[in-house]
Amino acid sequence: MDGRRSRSSRRLATILGAAAGTACAVALAAITDTGTAQQPAASPEPWIEATHLPPLLTAAGEPVELRYDAFCVVDDGVDVDMPCDVQASVYARRGAAGRFEELAVREELGSPDGRFVAPVPPSLAGSPSGFSYYAVLRDRRTGATTTLPAGGAVAPQRSRPLGRAVEISLEPHRFGELRRASARVVEAPWGAGPGAVGLEHGRSLPPTGGSSFDVASDGTVHVLDEANRRVLRWAPRASRPDELPVAVNGTIADLAVGHDGTMYVLETTAELGEAPTLRAFEARGRPIGASRLAERASQLRLAPHGDAEVLQEPSGQWMSAYEHGRPTGRERQLASGRSGRAVGGGRELVVLRKDDEIRVALVGDGVSQAWRVTSPSPIAEVQLAEALGRNVLLVVRAYSDTQDEFRVLVLGARGVVESFSVASADWAETAPLSRFRLRGSVLYQLGSTPRGLFVDRFDLEVR
């Protein structure tokens, strides 16, 4: 994480955790907008941080409000909170085209900085095509502004009606009833030697190692060993991996591998005053390009056509970062922002977690399929969401005060097609949403114990 933003980011995590009623604030970044100011050239340097949970999918008849929390920071070498005098302007329109109208905004009293609410008129919220919107927050004292999402009117946030969704009410989660893996395909001890994975211990922090992985269509497993600045690649049935040196910054990062073997590494931290970088390497580890991201990012995925897309945290949108073998510039990144992730066939997958409900939709010109999943047991993050033919696979974290597990759900046209639980196996910290990958009808899990790292395979019944 950018050094000067560490304090403000902790503040954001506190806001997100309180709003969601869960301690899993890091993973919530995947479904929560956060805004960072466009900073004027002044010293000391002020900016605004903001959070927003976008109503990506709405149910018929429910009231819709756009809520924003904002606070101001000034950088004089050390992060310092400062009093805010923020004005919020929110603009919305029916569907995805046409003229934006400014919505009425009220400021809620009692917030130490700024909390703003913009009710969406029923004529917009109930539109069959949904609505799109963006917000601009400005501090009257310093002139600092932030736009959420960062693309503004060019790439606004999109909200869609669920329509006739499949309603799924889960049974209370029963801990300890775990499915055994079909096979353990990778096992590696902690260390720096051949076939080992680096492990780091921070002061008062959990151990970190093997921060991400990916699996090729033939079952070849790639593990990002960021501590040793290399990728370990296990061919099917190989006892030892190939070691591919990669020039990364050695911190937690996400990994994706293309059909041609190109490896993409999303660095989630950066030097002071710089944005994170998406780096590309050819199959043997030679650097072939780098894309400076417009904003912070929490996830990396490859689109069906092979381009690299990232979920950028300030906008809460999926954006193109590497297209047609070339890095994507800032303006193109911001203009490409969208609420859903491309999953093939001209479709996007849109996911929203609200408390202990998960809303999922496959979207083309409109919502083609949708699900509402409710749980009487607490749910933390949606660890994975993938299209599986006409179905959707979800991996969610179920938790109690004393334990947690991952729950795997395959959602079909009539409800849950397949369901089972697996151990969390997260002794070492990884990139926030990098513990599972789906290839065909096979689910892979990256796990760890005090002894080392492993990758398990789970063969799904659904074809």
Length of the chain: 463
Pairing of strands 183-189, 357-363: unpaired
How far is Cα 31 from Cα 351, in angstroms, rounded to an integer? 8
Token code pair at residue 256: 């994706």
Position 42 scores a pLDDT of 43
Residues 208 and 432 sit within 8 Å (Cβ to Cβ) = no
- The number of angstroms, rounded, from the C-alpha of 324 to the middle of its chain's C-alpha atoms is 23
Position 344 scores a pLDDT of 85
Backbone φ and ψ of 95, nearest 5°: 65, -145
How far is Cα 144 from Cα 140, in angstroms, rounded to an integer? 8
Report which secondary-structure segment, H or E, holds 334: helix 330-335
Position 463 scores a pLDDT of 57
Report which secondary-structure segment, H or E, holds 26: helix 25-28
Position 111 scores a pLDDT of 63
Closest CA to 382 of 354, 347, 422: 354
Position 45 scores a pLDDT of 67
Report which secondary-structure segment, H or E, holds 124: helix 122-125
How far is Cα 177 from Cα 180, in angstroms, rounded to an integer? 10
pLDDT digits (tens, 9 = 90+) for 222-279: 999 999 999 999 999 888 999 999 999 999 999 999 999 999 999 988 765 577 899 9
How far is Cα 449 from Cα 122, in angstroms, rounded to an integer? 51
- The number of angstroms, rounded, from the C-alpha of 262 to the middle of its chain's C-alpha atoms is 22
* Range 359-368 burial, b when 16+ CB lie within 10 A, else e: bbbbbeeebe
> Virtual CA dihedral for 8, 11, 12, 16, nearest 10 degrees?
170
Token code pair at residue 144: 């600092």
How far is Cα 302 from Cα 312, in angstroms, rounded to an integer? 14
Q: How many helices (H) and strands (E) does the chain have?
A: 4, 37
Looking up tokens 């002794």 gives: 427
pLDDT digits (tens, 9 = 90+) for 171-203: 999 999 999 999 999 999 999 999 999 998 877
Whether the pTM exceeds 0.85: the reply is yes
Pairing of strands 65-75, 114-119: antiparallel
Position 83 scores a pLDDT of 64
How many CB atoms are located within 10 Å of the residue 194 CB? 10
Position 38 scores a pLDDT of 46
Residue type for position 261: G
Residue 127 is classified by DSSP as: -
Residues 378 and 398 sit within 8 Å (Cβ to Cβ) = yes
How far is Cα 309 from Cα 292, in angstroms, rounded to an integer? 13
Residue 109: CB partners within 8 Å, gap ≥ 6?
A: none
Mean pLDDT by 10 residues, the chain (463 residues): 39 37 34 44 65 92 92 60 79 96 89 83 93 93 88 95 94 96 96 94 83 95 97 93 95 94 91 81 95 90 92 87 92 93 91 92 90 95 93 96 96 95 96 94 97 97 68
Closest CA to 443 of 237, 168, 185: 185
